[in-house]
Amino acid sequence: MLCKIIFIAAIVATVVADNSDHDYHSHPSYKFEYGVKDPHTGDHKSQWEHRDGDVVKGAYTLDDADGTKRVVEYSSDKHNGFQAHVKRVGHADHPAVYGHHEVGHSYGHGQGHGHGSSYANSNLHQYHH
């Protein structure tokens, strides 16, 4: 029994000693990057970022719906704050509009969609006392 108590006390002492060595003021540093190219969904994007102390730099790209690629390069430090530069690469494709779509016909059902009521064009009865 005494052997078990000494063994448990040794483990507790080791755990307590390991927790006391944390340096909460260490130099922060990391790097990461990823990319997605999914031909099924058309999702194409990427990102990278690295940090060295108080300086963060990175970029990300994504394909916009108009066919262009958006590139955002950013940096952040204690002197300049957060800075982002956005570029568009490529030519925007806007589909041609065929036919004529008129907006605003009520056909006697008031404004808006469906059969809801609208007070915009209704003849309101005024009651006099």
22 within some domain: no
In 3D, which of 30, 26, 46 has the Cα closest to residue 38? Answer: 46
Q: In this structure, is residue 3 part of a structural domain? A: no
- The reply to whether 17 falls in a domain is no
Q: Is the residue at 24 inside a domain?
A: no
Name the token pair of 85. 């530069």
Res 74 pLDDT > 60: yes
* Sheet with 55-63: strands ordered across: 29-38, 43-52, 55-63, 69-77, 81-89
Assigned domain for 48 exists: yes
Let me know: does 31 contact 50? Beta carbons within 8 Å: yes
- pLDDT tens digits for 16-64? 555 556 677 889 999 999 999 999 998 899 999 999 999 999 999 999 9
Rounded Cα distance, 42 and 62, in Å: 11
Banded model confidence at residue 77, pLDDT cuts 50, 70, 90: very high
Across the range 97-107, mean pLDDT stands at 66
Q: Which residue range(s) make up the domain with 79?
A: 29-89
Assigned domain for 101 exists: no
- Overall domain count for the chain: 1
- pTM metric for this prediction: 0.55
- In terms of pLDDT, which residue wins out, 5 or 49? 49
Query: Cα–Cα distance between 115 and 73 in angstroms, integer?
Result: 49
Provide mean pLDDT across the span 57-86.
96
